[in-house]
A = this chain, B = another copy of it.
Amino acid sequence: MAKRTSLEAAACPIARSMSEIGDAWSMLIIRDAMMGARRFSEFQKKLGLAKNILATRLRALVANGILTMEAAADGSAYQDYVLTAKGRAVFPVMVALRQWGEDHAFAPGECDNRLVDRQTSQPVRALELRSADGRLLSAGDTEVKFTTSGA
């Protein structure tokens, strides 16, 4: 049988994350939500995707606690989709994807937009990973450790 393999219960946090936000449309929905989009039609217009697909994704994002539905801010009888704390926490992932894309997924000079610091309008630095005591870490300086205690 060709049931699609689900990573929901994977032990690896990366696999879990991918199962919740590893879909292209979902990620772009979160991106637009971070940029202020709130309404169904707003997402549809910006993303240009079919309404049934959008409906499916929004339902999943709400079910996973990344978006919530609340009464529309403009006082109408409709609903707004707004990011929860969990949804806002996707920000570093978004920035990492953006920086990788800027550097590696465009021809030189092709990319026409950058993430900048609002105060100075200067491009932000590359994301940096640091140890508990503040040293800058790269891939080789890290490893995955299992907390094998039975807790």
Contact = CB atoms under 8 A, between A and B. Distances in A.
A18 B14 contact: no
Interface residues of A, number: 81
A110 to B, nearest CB: 9
Given A113-B12, A141-B117, A147-B113, A17 B100 contact: yes
Interface stretch (A37-45, A68-76, A88-96): A88-96
- Each complex incorporates copies of this chain amounting to 2
A91 B123 contact: no
B105 A16 contact: yes
A24 interface: yes
A79 interface: no
A138 B94 CA distance: 12
Contact of A118 (B34, B89, B98, B141): B141
A122 B21 CA distance: 27
Contacts of A101: 12-17
B144 A120 contact: no
A89 to B, nearest CB: 6
Given A22-B27, A112-B148, A124 B129 contact: yes
Interface of A: 5, 7, 11-24, 27-28, 31, 34-35, 49, 65, 86, 88-106, 109, 111-133, 135, 137-148, 151
8 contacts: A13-B98, A14-B27, A14-B101, A18-B28, A91-B139, A95-B142, A117-B131, A128-B130
